[in-house]
Amino acid sequence: MHDMALQGGFAEAPTQSARAFRAVLNALARPGTIETLVGAQPPAPASIAAGVALLTLADATTPVHLAGAHDTPDLRDWLTFHTGAPLVGAAEAVFALGTWVALAPITRFAMGSPEYPDRSATLIVEMPALHPAGARLTGPGIRDTAHLNLPDIAALRANAADFPLGRDFLFCAGDRLAALPRSTQVEAV
């Protein structure tokens, strides 16, 4: 284990994780809303928002998949030290972290079953930037419409068509996070 794994976690875990949890839940409850997350500094190439989200949501019972360039010894050690989360392949993941290209195809991640739709994966997608512009979002938690720049509208529409099954998404860029639950309808504009 590298010394880097011991650094970059929450300095005040109870307070910081509670604030981060509230921000992540707010983003999930209000798709298209962009939240700012602070309190952790994961090893590159993970963003602050992705690191904070994983510190808040992952633990020894939530398997994590690191995809593509995010599957580094430093990030593996950091995540294991701070959360205890087991690192697994895509099919077993509860959370997965990577760029859209590295995570594709998203169909390789669990989408739940009719008996247990909650047994699906949440994909944490690293983005170059997040903007409240682009695809039009409608559905639960959105008053009329919301907008968010998304990487692959066709794949996200297909995912929503499987509701109540499907995957949920956290999009991260720097210290910013937005969410797209499987219940959200996505349309190109």
Q: What stretch of H or E contains 95?
A: strand 95-99
Categorize the per-residue pLDDT at 6 as very low, low, confident or very high, splitting at 50, 70 and 90: low
* Pair 120, 92: CB distance under 8 Å: no
pLDDT tens digits along 112-123: 999 999 999 999
Taking the C-alpha atoms of residue 90 and residue 87, their distance in angstroms, rounded to an integer, is 10
Residue 78 lies in a domain: yes
Residue 97 lies in a domain: yes
Q: CA 144, 188, 123, 49: dihedral to nearest 10 degrees?
A: -70
Decide if pLDDT at 2 tops 70: no
Q: Which of 48, 44, 38 is nearest to 74 (CA)?
A: 44
Residue 8 lies in a domain: no
The residue with greater pLDDT, 12 or 66, is: 66
Q: CA 99, 146, 142, 110: dihedral to nearest 10 degrees?
A: -20
Decide if pLDDT at 77 tops 60: yes
pLDDT tens digits along 23-51: 999 999 999 999 999 989 999 999 999 99
Decide if pLDDT at 174 tops 90: yes
Decide if pLDDT at 3 tops 80: no
* Pair 159, 182: CB distance under 8 Å: yes
Provide mean pLDDT across the span 93-110. 98
Residue 140 lies in a domain: yes
How many independent structural domains does the chain possess? 1
pLDDT tens digits along 154-164: 999 999 999 99
Decide if pLDDT at 5 tops 70: no
- The SS3 of residue 90 is helix
Residue 63 lies in a domain: yes
Residue 52 identity (one-letter amino acid): V
Residues spanned by the domain of 32: 13-187
Q: Which of 188, 184, 189 is nearest to 170 (CA)?
A: 184
Residue 2 lies in a domain: no
Q: Which of 52, 30, 57, 53 is nearest to 41 (CA)?
A: 52
Task: Return the pLDDT at 12.
Answer: 77
Task: Return the pLDDT at 20.
Answer: 93
Task: Give the CATH number of the domain where residue 98 resides.
Answer: 3.40.50.11310
% the chain with pLDDT above 70: 94
Residue 3 lies in a domain: no
Residue 7 lies in a domain: no
